[in-house]
Structure 1
Amino acid sequence: MELRKFSTEETQNLRARTFTALRGQILDGSLKPGERVSERKIAEMLGISTTPIKEALRRLEAEGLVVTLPRRGTYIAAFSTEKVHEMALIRAAIEGVAARIAAQKAKDADLSQLRSQIEVMRAATAAGDFGDVVNANEGFHEIIQGLAANQYLSQILGVLRVYDRSNRVRVLSRCDEFERAFREHLQILTAIEGADPDGAEAAMRAHILRSVELIRIHSEQHGEPT
C-alpha cells in the first residue's frame, strides 16, 4: 500500500479547519464554560490525529478561550462578569476608533454595503428572530471594521471577538432590546454616511457602553459569578 504524503497546503488547511471548528463550538455555546476538552474524543469525532487538535488548543488558549491546568487537562474558559465588563469597555474604545476611520474612508460602494446590512438588520428585528438579529448585528460591526482597513485594529478586535459575541448574546437575549439596538446602529450608519468621524465614534461608543450596563443587570438577575 502506498499513500500520498499530504502537501503543506493540505496540512495547513487541516490545522485551520480544526481550529475553526473548535472555536465555532465554543462561540455558539456547544462547548460550555468549564467543560473539559478531550483531545482523543475530538480526534475520533473529526477522524484525525491529535496533532492538529493540540495546535488548535494552543491557539485557542492564546485567545483566552481555553485554559490548560497542570495535571488536570484543558478546559473551556469561563468568563467572569468583571472580565466581560472590562473587555466591553476596551471594545467600546477600539470600535469607536474603527467607526471614526470608516467615516473618513467610506466610499459610495462601502456605504451601499452598510445600507444593505441595515436592511438585513431591519428584517431580522421586525421578525424578532434572536439568532438572525445577533448575526445581523455582528455583520454590521464586521463591515465597519473592514471599512476601517486597519491591520492593528483588526488584530485587536479579533482577540476581543469572543467577548463581543458573549456581550451581544447577553444583551440581545432581551427582545425589547432589538428595536433599540437597531436604532443605535442606524445612528452609526447616519454618521458614517455624513462623513462625520466625531459623530460615528460617539455613536459607536455610546452603543457599546450601554451594553455594559445591560450586562451588569443581566448578571445580577441570573446570579452570574463576578
Structure 2
Amino acid sequence: MNEEEYREVAWTNIAKIADTDDQDICDKVYGDWADTYERDSNAIKFVAPEELAKRSVKFFRNDESSQLLDVAAGTGTLGQHLRTYGFTGIMDAIDISAPMLEKAKEKGIYRNFVCQGLHPDKSLPFDDNSYDVVALSGGLGDKHIEARCILQLIRIVKPGGVFAFNVQNRALFDGCRAEIKQILDGMAARKEVSYETMEATHYGTLTKMTGDVIPGLIFIVTKL
C-alpha cells in the first residue's frame, strides 16, 4: 500500500466512528484498526496528540511522582509525545479498545491499563482527586466521547491539578465545543475551575471530509 491508500483507510475508519454513537461499533473499528492505526494516522497528519503534548506539558506538575491519566489513550501516541516533550511522571491509560491498549503496552511508558469507554452516566473506576493530570486527545465529539464526560474527568483531578484536552474547531463540532464551554463557564463561576484555550492544528493535511486542514482548540483546565 502507498500513502494515498493509507489515507483512504484512515478516513474510512474515521467516518465509521463519526457516523455512529454505538460503543460496540466504535470498539470493533478501533480493534480492527489497532495494528495500522499509527501508520494511517501519520498519513493524514493527525497531529492533535503532539500539539496537545507540546502545548500543555508546561502547565503540569512534572516530577517522577506526578500521576497522569491518558484518556482514550489508544496506542499510546499522546503518552509517547508527552515523554518526548519532557513529562517525567507516572502514566496510566484508559481506552475502550483492548487491542489498542495492547499496542500501548508495547511502548513501555504506562503503569496501569483500564479497558473501558466513557459515558456521562457511567462512573469511571477512579476515586475523586486521584490524578495530578488528566489528558485527552482527539476523543471528544457528539457521537464519540460526549461533552458531559468532562465532569467525570475533572472529578478525578486533584485540586491544583490540570485537565488538558483538545477538540476539533470546525462547524461539525460547534455543539460539542459550546457544551464544553457552558460546563466550564458554570464551574468557573462557582470557583471550581479556571481555564484557558489555545488554537492548534488537529489534522495537518487536506482531508476528504472538508478539503481543508482541520483546526483544533486546546483547553487547559485547572481544578481549584
TM-score range, shorter chain: under 0.3
Q: TM-score, normalised by structure 2?
A: 0.24
Q: Which has the higher contact order (CA 8 A, sep 6+)?
A: 1
Q: TM-score, normalised by structure 1?
A: 0.24
Q: Please identify which structure carries the higher strand content.
A: 2
Q: Which structure would you say has the larger Rg?
A: 1
